[in-house]
Amino acid sequence: MDIRTRYLQEMGITQWVSRDPGLHPTSEMVVGQNLNIKAKDFIQTDQVMTDLSAQVDICRQCDLHRTRYTTVFGVGPIPADLMIVGEAPSAEDDRQGIPFVGRAGQLLASMLFSIGFELEDVYIANSLKCRPPDDRDPLAEELAHCNPFLLQQIQRIQPKVILTLGKVAVQSLLNTSESLAQLRNSGQLREVVGVPLIATYHPAYLLQSPAAKSESWKDLCRARQLLINGSSG
Ligand code: SF4
């Protein structure tokens, strides 16, 4: 079984054929290790993001600074066509300072791979830069304090599409209380600071609810369509 077939099967997709010959990645990904190397490279070459990352490192605007081991700023190329926004660092992310390490990161890699991207092609960040204790849900005031960092990242990265993972990320970015189901199914294309946004499930949820992978696959296809044609329809 080739790598692509294995990843598509993990996504719950049995058949998918790309019409774009440019969308056929050929190499295996090493989750975490690659991101670490890339993050260092990119941070060294972008002064604006270096300065922003330094601000995050010393940020004490909410109580999460008391319990974090380290901040988790974000990783990826600058600029990047596709930006991923998750919720908050996991325990492992908090230890390593890198978003989406561990099983959720591996599934995210599979999700991206299934639409022709590798992890190092995309910029990955979270709504919160510090881990909430015991992985509790982020509080509204924590998100309000941290959101300006994320907006500055978006403006610097200049993505063509933002893919949000889970309800917290999309609700926070759009400042809405609409449910993830409403946001996914409305058919209305949302934007944040002028960038089209597609909402889908968080990989951690998909690990617990594999039946939702096929719905997530539709969201990924919409994101890919937007990137290629500038339209999700
Ligand atoms: S979560 Fe965000 S606002 Fe709160 S301390 Fe960390 S960087 Fe600052």
* Separation CA 111–CA 213 (nearest Å): 9
Q: What is the mean pLDDT of the chain?
A: 86
Query: What's the pLDDT score for residue 51?
Result: 97
**Amino acid identity, position 174:** L
Q: Residue 22: which pLDDT band, with cuts at 50, 70 and 90?
A: very low
Residue 213 lies in a domain: yes
Residue 38 lies in a domain: yes
Instruction: Give residue 188's domain range.
Output: 3-11+26-229
Residue 20 lies in a domain: no
> Residue 129: enclosing H or E segment and its boundaries?
none
Cβ-contact 111, 11 below 8 angstroms: yes
* Higher per-residue confidence, 29 vs 169: 169
- Among 127, 66, 78, residue whose Cα is nearest residue 99: 127
Residue 19 lies in a domain: no
Mean pLDDT of 55-70: 98
Cβ-contact 76, 154 below 8 angstroms: no
Mean pLDDT of 90-112: 94
Q: Identify the residues whose C-beta falls under 6 Å from ligand 1.
A: 56, 59-62, 64-65, 71, 128-130, 142, 145-146
Give the range among 30-39, 88-97, 134-143, 163-172 with minimum mean pLDDT.
Answer: 30-39
Nearest residue (by CA) to ligand 1, atom 1, is: 130
Mode of pairing for the β-strands spanning 195-200 and 190-192 = antiparallel
Residue 72 has pLDDT above 60, yes or no: yes
Q: Token pair for residue 39?
A: 């993050």
Q: What is the CATH number of the domain that holds 137?
A: 3.40.470.10
- Please state, as a whole number, how many other Cβ atoms lie within 10 Å of the Cβ of residue 224: 23
CA of 57 to the centre of ligand 1 (A): 9
CA of 144 to the centre of ligand 1 (A): 10
Residue 85 lies in a domain: yes
CA of 63 to the centre of ligand 1 (A): 8
CA of 127 to the centre of ligand 1 (A): 10
Mean pLDDT of 11-16: 52
Query: What's the pLDDT score for residue 32?
Result: 40
Residue 18 lies in a domain: no
Query: What's the pLDDT score for residue 5?
Result: 59
Q: Residue 102: which pLDDT band, with cuts at 50, 70 and 90?
A: confident
Q: How many domains does the chain have?
A: 1
Contact partners, residue 230, CB within 8 Å, separation at least 6: 160
Query: What's the pLDDT score for residue 88?
Result: 97
Q: What is the pLDDT of residues 193-229, one digit of tens each?
A: 999 999 999 999 999 999 999 999 999 999 999 999 8
* Separation CA 193–CA 65 (nearest Å): 27
Q: What is the pLDDT of residues 146-198, one digit of tens each?
A: 999 999 999 999 999 999 999 999 999 999 999 999 999 988 999 999 999 99
Q: Kindly report the pTM of this predicted structure.
A: 0.85
Residue 39 lies in a domain: yes
Q: Residue 34: which pLDDT band, with cuts at 50, 70 and 90?
A: very low
* Higher per-residue confidence, 42 vs 148: 148
* Separation CA 90–CA 103 (nearest Å): 11
* Higher per-residue confidence, 232 vs 47: 47
Residue 74 lies in a domain: yes
Q: Find how far residue 26's CA is from the centre of its chain.
A: 22
Query: What's the pLDDT score for residue 187?
Result: 85
